[in-house]
Structure 1
């Protein structure tokens, strides 16, 4: 698994990318998340725990044990289909989390520079329906929220949709559905996938795998081509510290014990293989291979083309 050659467009050449056989996976950056995110999201990942996991530094944590996290999407073209995995926080949206409120990033420009202008996207995969994974589903235009990707089919698992449709949501989550999910459904662009236990293909070499726990219907995305394989984590693993300590759960995991079980199973299946793991919130270098370390795991980072792993 190696970094791929970049597009000839100089702007696109700045987009981090990796190869999986003859596929090119591009990371579309939205924003780095503030230092306060780590202690809130992963309260068990204390500074002591982080500093006792030395391989996390310098890429994934600083010397004081503060975790680095990021918000981004992954884009890939498969068999003529242009696919985007997750859509980040979004711009100009009213959010309870101060770091996400009224964000103003250049995500859309980065997406276009990478060769994935919004109108050219065919499929948007939503690993789960959380605020920081659906935000760019829509954009504000002429007084209302409209689909950012007007020619795309937005896909999520039926289990995920049925869960949220059946629970009483707090005001902040209701707001997110109103501005980032319902406009897509009302436009007739929203699709539900019945994800089998062994996974369900949505395109040649693109498979959705059930990864419950963080949410009931969360999926991870498996890419395969020419005998090579990559896995986009969703929030099964928020941060590499959970590889060294798989029992660490997120404060927003709906079923923490199941989330930990899913994470253990995933890491065990990846350990020692050539499968590239792409973390949905991992900061640069974002990708790597899973290796066993004692009774747990570690990430051996793989930098995209033109970049090096620090340290």
Structure 2
């Protein structure tokens, strides 16, 4: 697919739907939870009103970036790994002057069920980082109320990220809900294989221990890049950091390397916040827009097979 199309424009204005990609013996699927509206000049402070006026396809009817909330399910036979767990069963109204417009989660468990999975069927839950829109459902209690929702699955967190959030000697954590996860957390290191065909790499930038996950199979490579990128427009402008980036300069430096990597043959990207274009490729020829979403299957099927 070359250039912008009416169908792609419509997808840029709505939150993501269930979509899947086959990588050899592994199947990876976006698990939608909801939507977060971003005020474009506040989310990406280096942009201009002129840029957004010239690129209205990225904005919804209310003038916001429509960013998806959710996670990524990786299945290999009967085994399953979940990467990030959405925002949770919450809704927040827009606040004047805040970077976000309205935020709405709540669909995650329904999406998992549609994909044939219940919380108890996961062997591990991994996190790109521990911000609330990635941690959401993991800190919800299970129906019996005695443990976190996805326990006893192991919860995988990059070492430097956990160091920022782990309970201290007095048992307190920066977030009380994170403390409840502590018995199930195992920290992981850069380059570690955390599931068959899935390796973690620690990038920092967005958060102190922000991690990406590289999934390989069938001669393809998929990079689940978490919040290294928040919007497809950053693929064309890696110098534009998000207001939520912990270290904007480091984040921008990493984005440049990441985008070059995404342009390599056989490489697919997954952007959890990328509206309804979460799976895509980067056009190596430097044409804009560089982010090329994978096309829907025949007959309008929302699930994608590459």
Q: Is TM (by shorter chain) over 0.5?
A: yes
Q: What is the match of residue 204 of structure 1?
A: 196
Q: Are 2:79 and 1:81 equivalent residues in the alignment?
A: yes
Equivalent pair of 1:212/1:258 in contact (CA under 8 Å): yes
CA pair 291-123 structure 1, distance change in 2 beyond 3 A: same
Offset of 1:35 from its aligned partner?
5.0
State the Cα distance separating 1:49 from its structure 2 match: 2.2
Q: What CA distance in whole angstroms lies between the structure 1 residues aligned with 2:276 and 2:215?
A: 20
Q: Which of the numbers 219, 229, 254 marks the counterpart of 1:227?
A: 219
Query: 1:179-222, CA deviations, whole angstroms, 9 ceiling, x for partnerless residues?
Result: 2x21111xx21110122xxx221122101112211112111111
Please say which of residues 253-262 and 271-280 is displaced more in the overlay: 271-280
Q: Give the aligned partner of residue 189 of structure 2.
A: 194
With the length of structure 2 as denominator, give the TM-score of the two structures: 0.79
- In the alignment, the residues of structure 2 paired with residue 104 and residue 133 of structure 1 have an alpha-carbon distance, to the nearest angstrom, of 11
> Which residue of 66, 69, 75 corresponds with 1:68?
66
Structure 1 residues 15 and 252, CA gap change in structure 2 (3 angstroms): closer
Q: Structure 1 stretches of 5 or more lacking a match?
A: 1-13, 168-172
Tell me, yes or no, if the aligned pair for 1:45 and 1:241 is still in contact at 8 Å: no
- CA deviation digits over 1:40-73, x for unaligned, max 9? 3222233422454x5xx64x44599742211111
Q: Is the 8 A contact 2:33 2:69 kept in 1?
A: yes
| Residue number in structure 1 paired with 2:106 | 105
- Aligned counterpart, 2:11: none
CA distance 1:205–1:261, change in 2 (3 Å): same
CA contact (8 A) 1:86 1:126 kept: yes
Q: CA deviation at 1:81?
A: 2.5
Change (3 A) 1:227 1:156: same
- 1:41 is matched with 43
Alpha-carbon offset, residue 131 of structure 1: 1.1
The count of residues paired between Structure 1 and Structure 2 equals: 276
Asked if the contact 2:153–2:184 (Cα under 8 Å) also holds between the matched residues in 1, the reply is yes
1:31 to 31, 34, 41: 34
SS of the equivalent of 2:200 reads strand
In the alignment, which residue of structure 2 is the partner of 1:17? 20
Distance 1:112 1:63, change over 3 A: closer
The 1:124–1:308 alpha-carbon spacing in structure 2 relative to 1, beyond 3 Å, is closer
Match of 2:230 in 1: 238
Specify the SS of the correspondent of 1:33.
strand
CA–CA separation in structure 2 for the residues paired with 1:201 and 1:260: 26
Given that 1:50 and 1:241 are in contact with CA atoms closer than 8 Å, whether structure 2 keeps it comes out as no
**CA-to-aligned-CA distance 1:245-271 (integer Å, 9 cap, x gap):** 100011111111110011111111221
CA distance in 1, matches of 2:19, 2:30: 6
Contact 1:48 1:65 in 2 (8 A): no
| 2:3 match | none
Bigger mean CA deviation after superposition, 298-307 or 207-216: 298-307
Quick one: structure 1 residues 143 and 114, their matched pair in 2 at CA, closer, same or farther if it must change by over 3 Å? closer
Written as runs of structure 1 = structure 2, the 5 A alignment for 1:80-159 is: 80-92=78-90, 99-100=102-103, 105-140=106-141, 146-159=147-160
Q: Tell me the distance in 1 between the aligned counterparts of 2:63 and 2:48.
A: 7
Q: 5+ unaligned residues in a row in structure 2: which ranges?
A: 1-16
* One of 270, 286, 297 as aligned partner of 2:278: 286
Post-superposition shift, 1:98?
7.5
Verify the 8 A CA contact 1:31 1:105 in the aligned structure 2: yes
Cα shift at 1:120: 0.7
